[in-house]
Chains A and B, each alone.
Chain A
Amino acid sequence: MRFKRFMAVLSARNLEFIRDHSALSWNIVLPVLIVFGFAFAFTTSSQNLFKVGIYDQQKQAPGVEQFLQLKHIQFIPVNSIDKSITKVERHQLDMLLDSSSGSYWINDRSANGYVLEQLLRKPGETSLTKKTVTGDAIRYVDWLIPGVLGMNIMFSSLFGVGYVIVRYRKNGVLKRLKATPLTAFEFLSAQVVSRLWLIVTVTSLVYAGTNLFVGFRMYGSYLTLLLVLVIGTFSMICLSLIIAARLSNEETANGLLNMISWPMMMLSGVWFSLEGSPQIIQQLALIFPLTHMILAARAIMIDGATLLQVSDHLLILLIMSALFMTIGARSFKWE
């Protein structure tokens, strides 16, 4: 690989992106609008549904069985008491109930927790043990920001690289480049790096800018979050290389990109949590790089997860990136 040729394509692509004001502003304005829109729409109330985490549901202490029959309450099986307590502290769960021991946790600042306690605990009931935690609610916008930024990164990666390369192929730009000593690897690397740093820069600016007004909860490390951003973006750009490998028809490329991006947007937990959804949906969502990026980012921001705690997501993203890039590069055709 000749660095001079790589840098030539990289700088030309950067110039093209920066001078294409409509594309640039769309990449910045859209996520800002969504974040502010949701920040204002959900400032006073979070989701209305009652959410109760149930631990060890196989055994049921006296008084629990009747509670579990109630309608309009979402009962979510949980595997870890400690993690679930953190969710109660942050109002992601309104109550945690250890079904076998009869212990339950509510947040003393949560109205939903108070209502659920009244429903669970009948007058004179003594077999249940109350434990109180405290903590401010995680607002919907705090939960949403990794999803919105992830979604924007996904669209920017898929369409900004995949669609652009297909357009280059259709109008003959690639054919002209093929006639030079530039290699496919140099060309593709430049496209990936160009879009990667642009997305990371734009996303960081959007986060920082909206954070000034909204003040997102951040319990983890910004450096770890940046690493998730870089690796997640890289994996989605690599995914777009598969679409870009051979197609020369923009309409087909558009259809395929939509076919990939829409299920990802709906199933990767951008807008709503997949907790409580059918197991098959949760498993299916794990095939998408966006899911891993959002899960890792939320774990860092909301749960204060460390690099080690999100390393499984990062490893999966790196494996996906390698796989996508290998397929995309090996099947790439200039024409």
Chain B
Amino acid sequence: MSCILQVENLVKRFGSVQAVNGVSFSIERGTCFGLLGPNGAGKTTTVEMLEGILTPSAGTIRYKGAPTNADFRKEAGIMFQETALQEFIKVGETLELFSRFYAHTRSQEELIDRCALSDFLDRDVRKLSGGQRQRLLLAIALVNDPEIVFLDEPTTGLDPQARRNFWQLVNDIKQEQKTLVLTTHYMEEAYELCDEIAIMDHGCIIAQGSPRDLLKKHFDNSVILLPASDVPESLDQHELLKLHRMNGQVEILSEDVNATIELLMAQKIPLGHLQIRSRTLEDLFLELTGRGLRS
């Protein structure tokens, strides 16, 4: 696979605030690259510099080996975190409006079908639900049949079902070998969609790799969950258990789940409400920064 976008030492300052502090990465053609981090981490600023919306204070962005220029907009599809559309215009008219900005476009029928817009094609854009609106914005991002698609927190504010539906659309785009750049603060979304992620905090990349590799690299254990009331406090200092209490639950980090369960049974701990889960990107972020993704 070849590199389609290369970023080196990217910096963005707003007055005295340094929003992005020297980030570097490269994105392979046909992959989904995720920028993961909490609000204010610098994800949107980074992606808006890649899109050409913001001018970097320092650093270079190369698209297909050359510095990005005005023509980049013809080959890029962009879905902003927050986008207002012209009022009093219907869905189909909005799609037509954006189609006419480009010389090379995808067929509107195909876009309508792909993004499931046909049911509300004649509806005023102000009267769309959250999920319908995001599907329209995705269709607009795809209108020029882009080589690279930027999706900035595309599912924020959607209900779980609408989010799942949107993920399916993104997976369909991936099947077309498009390159995707996705920002999100939903670790589940990044895990589901991204081939590679960069975790950002305070304007810097603090970890980068495929979601599975990152989890494998940082964790070799699972989490056993029990109700706090079932676990006596005398066990908190047990030398073989890494245990901590939070929100009425006890989390036990275990490198050998069978051995830990045997130990708990030996202590006569009731296991009727026991849950076991693998480590997640949220755990990884907590591990790396000491804070939660949505804190």
Could you list 12 further interchain pairs (A-B, Cβ under 8 angstroms) beyond the known A8-B96, A179-B76, A181-B102? Answer: A9-B97, A15-B93, A172-B80, A175-B53, A175-B83, A176-B80, A176-B85, A179-B78, A179-B80, A180-B98, A181-B101, A182-B101
Interface: A72 (CB within 8 A): no
Closest 8 CB pairs of A and B: A8-B100, A171-B84, A19-B88, A180-B101, A179-B78, A172-B84, A16-B88, A176-B83
Q: B residues bordering A, Cβ < 8 Å? A: 51-53, 70, 73-74, 76, 78, 80, 82-89, 93, 96-98, 100-102, 140
Q: Is the pair A16, B80 in contact by a Cβ cutoff of 8 Å?
A: no
Q: Is the pair B100, A4 in contact by a Cβ cutoff of 8 Å?
A: yes
Give 1 or 0 for each of A3-17: 1 = CB within 8 Å of chain B CB.
Answer: 011011100110110
Q: Can you show 26 pairs from A to B with CB atoms below 8 A apart?
A: A5-B100, A5-B101, A12-B93, A13-B86, A15-B89, A16-B86, A16-B87, A19-B88, A20-B87, A20-B88, A168-B86, A172-B82, A172-B84, A175-B80, A175-B83, A176-B85, A176-B140, A178-B53, A179-B52, A179-B80, A180-B73, A180-B101, A181-B73, A181-B74, A181-B102, A335-B53
Most buried by B among A15, A179, A335: A179
**Which B residue sits closest to A9, measured CB to CB?**
B97
Interface: A208 (CB within 8 A): no
B74 cross-chain contacts in A, Cβ below 8 A: 181
B88 cross-chain contacts in A, Cβ below 8 A: 15-16, 19-20
Per the bound structure, the CA–CA distance linking A111 and B227 in Å amounts to 102
Q: Is the interface of B mostly helix, strand, loop or mixed?
A: loop
Per the bound structure, the CA–CA distance linking A335 and B96 in Å amounts to 24
Q: A179-B53, A180-B102, A181-B74 are in contact. Are A12 and B80 (CB under 8 A)?
A: no
Pick the residue among A12, A172, A179, A335 that contacts B97 (CB under 8 A): A12
In angstroms, how far is the closest chain B Cβ from the Cβ of A65? Answer: 67
Q: A residues bordering B, Cβ < 8 Å? A: 4-5, 7-9, 12-13, 15-16, 19-20, 168, 171-173, 175-176, 178-182, 335
B102 cross-chain contacts in A, Cβ below 8 A: 180-181
Per the bound structure, the CA–CA distance linking A178 and B54 in Å amounts to 11
Pick the residue among A9, A19, A173, A180 that contacts B85 (CB under 8 A): A173
In angstroms, how far is the closest chain B Cβ from the Cβ of A164? Answer: 10
**Which B residue sits closest to A180, measured CB to CB?**
B101
Per the bound structure, the CA–CA distance linking A170 and B78 in Å amounts to 19
In angstroms, how far is the closest chain B Cβ from the Cβ of A191? Answer: 12
B101 cross-chain contacts in A, Cβ below 8 A: 5, 8, 180-182
A7 cross-chain contacts in B, Cβ below 8 A: 100
Q: A7-B100, A175-B53 are in contact. Are A12 and B86 (CB under 8 A)?
A: yes
In angstroms, how far is the closest chain B Cβ from the Cβ of A169? Answer: 10
Most buried by A among B51, B97, B102: B97
Q: A175-B80, A181-B73 are in contact. Are A8 and B97 (CB under 8 A)?
A: yes
Per the bound structure, the CA–CA distance linking A310 and B145 in Å amounts to 54
Q: A15-B89, A178-B53, A179-B78 are in contact. Are A173 and B84 (CB under 8 A)?
A: yes
Most buried by A among B82, B88, B89, B140: B88
A9 cross-chain contacts in B, Cβ below 8 A: 97
In angstroms, how far is the closest chain A Cβ from the Cβ of B118? Answer: 21
Per the bound structure, the CA–CA distance linking A138 and B24 in Å amounts to 76
In angstroms, how far is the closest chain A Cβ from the Cβ of B79? Answer: 9
Per the bound structure, the CA–CA distance linking A87 and B240 in Å amounts to 108
A12 cross-chain contacts in B, Cβ below 8 A: 86, 89, 93, 97
Most buried by A among B51, B83, B87, B102: B87
A5 cross-chain contacts in B, Cβ below 8 A: 100-101
In angstroms, how far is the closest chain B Cβ from the Cβ of A203? Answer: 22
A181 cross-chain contacts in B, Cβ below 8 A: 70, 73-74, 101-102
